[in-house]
Amino acid sequence: DEPSSWVHNSLVPTMKDIMLHCYKASRVHLNRDIGYFDLLGFDFIIDDMLNVWLIEINVNPALHIRTQACRDIIPQMIADVLEIELHLLDQVRGKKRKITSTPPSLGGFEVLQNDIVRRKATRK
């Protein structure tokens, strides 16, 4: 396997699985009030056998842009988060007063767990 295929076929899916597991285990403790959202920072390490390990989850991740890598990523990530959250807030403030869909653009984000669809499915 080439390194890039390992990253896309193994590393990234494993990291997503870990993040989803952590979300499901803790979602009842997250503030789900209108206008609130959490930006979590997941720190991972890869050992010498290429196993992926979660080190910690930061509820207040550093958003400084002291390095070029951070300057390349963080401003757009913040813009994407705000665009997503404002879309959701607009829906809640609308006539139906509930979230009915994900934003048309997620920027660099991907939906790992869609509680909106799950709630609809469990109501039937």
What are the per-10-residue average pLDDT scores of the chain (124 residues)?
83 94 88 79 95 94 93 92 86 70 77 60 35
CB 84 within 8 A of CB 103: yes
Rounded CA separation 57/73 (Å)? 19
Residue 19 in contact with residue 110, Cβ under 8 Å? no
Report the distance separating Cα 63 and Cα 15, nearest Å.
21
Note the pLDDT of residue 118.
42
